[in-house]
Structure 1
Amino acid sequence: MKLTIVAATGGIGRQLLGQAVAAGHEVTAVVRNPAGLSAPVRVVAADLATAEPTALAAAVAGADAVLSGLGARSSAEAGVAWRGTRAVAEAMRTAGVQRLVVVSAAPIGTVPSPNRPHPPKHDPGDGPFMRYLGAPLTRTFLRAHYADLARMEELLRDGDLDWTVLRPPRLTDKPLTGTYRTSIDRNVHGGITVSRADVAHGMLAALERPDTVRHTVGIAN
């Protein structure tokens, strides 16, 4: 497949890039700083915090799918997920590319967004710990990050692309296992952590799963 990977030097983006290349896909990597990339792939430099769709047109043209590991690394970067995804989505529409897979976070189903001010109080996949302690705590400490991701998800729901959103819980740097669990439109029951490598694997696997199109996917080890 011809794949465009956005934020290819981030934690999940690096995993996506390595796994995609190893699987024999033809990859275009979109990165802010090409110097941080050593993989033998086509590279397009773009700052997704300020990128215009026209700057991304060449990166997505001809792609079978786009995968994005975009997300804020600090509170100061909050907003990059929805703004960058908006630019990517507009570039995809211009180029006639439909398939998009992005990463979000497990608590986002309960986070308000502008057109969804009263989301459910609990995710149907969460057990008592996540419902009453884990999710509320992370929503409090990562408020700006989660508001950004909620707005990104809203942008996709309101659009016309064939999107899939993966919602992992706490991310780790453990190696790829391939034995993670997934749930459609709900978090994985009892899922507390998942490795970035397994999230990347799940994102690539979603490309072969029509049942994930226009759905969220909980993922956890």
Structure 2
Amino acid sequence: MKLVVFGASGRIGTELVRQGVAAGHEVTAVVRKGSSLQVELPELRLVAARAGAAGDLAKVVTADVMDPKSIAPVIAGHDVVLSALGPRPKGPSDVLTSSARSVLQALGDVRRYLVVSVAGIHGGNDDPFTQFVVKPILQRLLREGFADARRMEELVGASTVDWTICCPPRLSDKPAKGTFRSNTEGSVRGGFTMTRADVATYMLNAIDDTALIRKTAVISN
């Protein structure tokens, strides 16, 4: 399968590229000008060889995700688009909304689109402490980023493509646990953290999961 990964220079994006290549996918890693992939192409070629791939399964492209004309030629001919972009931690932000709007305009014939959001804007299954203490604090501290995530989810949810929105909680760079929980009807009770490696695994597994098409999934370890 041919995958495009936006935000490939970030930590979830790096995992998507590495794991995607290991699974035998052809991966186009998109980075912005001035950024570089955190995993070297020789390492990816070694990963591909270990997976039994005969050819080069990864390439890096520099393009502005906010410019649909710039990314449309990159997306063309692929099967799936994955966005690992995240909101700015502080201050006004429209990274998620603007990038999603641009990608949706540039998708062309590509139908499958998976995007990362945040678990903190979702509720419905929380314990009282999380509902009345933890989340109100987070929503105040991260209000701009959360507002951006909400706008993005509304934009993607109103589209006609085969989207899946993946919403992890606080992220860590610890080694993958290999297990995770998910809920498409609300939050994951007690789901406070998730490794970035497991987020990438979940997203790659979700590509072929028809039950997740046009679903928002809150995920956690």
- Choose which of 99, 103, 110 in structure 1 pairs with 2:116: 103
Structure 2 residue 94 is the aligned partner of structure 1 residue 75:
no
The answer for the alignment partner of 1:205 in structure 2 is 205
Paired with 1:77 and 1:2, the residues of 2 have a C-alpha distance of 34
Paired with 2:63 and 2:95, the residues of 1 have a C-alpha distance of 12
The answer for the alignment partner of 1:43 in structure 2 is 60
Say how many residue pairs are matched.
204
How much does 1:185 deviate?
A: 2.8
How much does 1:77 deviate?
A: 6.7
* Residue segments in structure 2 that go unaligned for 5+ positions in a row: 45-57
- Choose which of 103, 109, 113 in structure 2 pairs with 1:88: 103
The answer for the alignment partner of 1:53 in structure 2 is 68
How much does 1:180 deviate?
A: 1.0
Distance change in 2, residues 1:138/1:158 (3 Å): same
* Residue segments in structure 1 that go unaligned for 5+ positions in a row: 110-122
Greater shift in the superposed pair: 154-163 or 67-76: 67-76
Paired with 2:36 and 2:59, the residues of 1 have a C-alpha distance of 14
Distance change in 2, residues 1:86/1:169 (3 Å): same
1:98 corresponds to which letter in structure 2? R
The answer for the alignment partner of 1:130 in structure 2 is 130
Paired with 2:100 and 2:131, the residues of 1 have a C-alpha distance of 28
TM-score normalised by length of structure 1: 0.87
The answer for the alignment partner of 2:165 in structure 1 is 165
The answer for the alignment partner of 2:14 in structure 1 is 14
Q: Deviations over 1:122-174 (max 9, x none)?
A: x1222212211111111110011111111110101111111101111111111
Distance change in 2, residues 1:35/1:169 (3 Å): closer
Structure 2 residue 4 is the aligned partner of structure 1 residue 4:
yes
Taking the TM superposition and a 5 Å limit, the aligned residue runs for 1:176-215 are 176-215=176-215
Paired with 2:164 and 2:15, the residues of 1 have a C-alpha distance of 18
> What SS class does the counterpart of residue 81 from structure 2 fall into?
strand
Q: Deviations over 1:3-57 (max 9, x none)?
A: 0001001121111111101111001111114752223522221233xx2211111
Q: Is the 8 A contact 1:34 1:43 kept in 2?
A: no
TM-score normalised by length of structure 2: 0.87
Paired with 1:187 and 1:74, the residues of 2 have a C-alpha distance of 21
How much does 1:193 deviate?
A: 0.7
The ranges of structure 1 where at least 4 consecutive aligned residues each deviate by more than 6 angstroms after the TM superposition are none
Once the two structures are aligned, what percentage of the paired residues are identical?
Answer: 44
Pairwise CA RMSD? 1.5
Q: Is the 8 A contact 2:87 2:149 kept in 1?
A: no
